[in-house]
Amino acid sequence: MTAHVRILLGAILVTAAELLLKRGATASADRAALLGMAALGSWYTWAGIGVHITAMVNWLAILRRVPLATAFCLASIQQVMVPLAAWGFMGEGISAHRWLGITLVLCGIAAVARTYARAEETL
């Protein structure tokens, strides 16, 4: 699996984990508990934790192949995918400022990815 595919997979895993954790947190919102501990009673929360662990293992594999600065910049696609998934699957709103931020993040990722691709071609 190429580094780019692993980075995209990691972003998908983190996005899924965040959606599951949100669902677990809101499923237990009606129960009063210290520090949101009631969310630990939801299978959504445990699934989210499991997916986060899988994403971490994937991240470690990425770091073996890609310089940290590059991997970290490319992994910021999560900052785009999470709000888009929350909007698409949970009906959460995205403000105009957030849309602008998403656009700027995508431009930055494109710049880093292009530079990384050129560097790989020279190797």
If DSSP states are collapsed to H, E and C, what string results for 69-96?
HHHHHHHCCHHHHHHHHHHHHHCCCCCH
Q: What is the mean pLDDT of the chain?
A: 88
What gap in Å lies between CA 49 and CA 42, rounded to an integer? 11
Q: What is the pLDDT of residues 67-118, one digit of tens each?
A: 888 899 889 999 999 999 999 999 999 999 999 999 999 999 998 888 877 7
For residue 123, what pLDDT is reported? 59
pLDDT score at 48: 96
Quote the pLDDT of residue 27: 76
Q: What is the pLDDT of residue 114?
A: 82
Residue 1 has pLDDT above 90, yes or no: no
List C-alpha distances in Å: 34 to 16, 19, 29, 31. 26, 22, 11, 10
How far is it, in rounded angstroms, from Cα 48 to Cα 11? Answer: 14
As given in the structure block, the two tokens for residue 62 are 């990425």
Q: What's the token pair of residue 120?
A: 């790989």
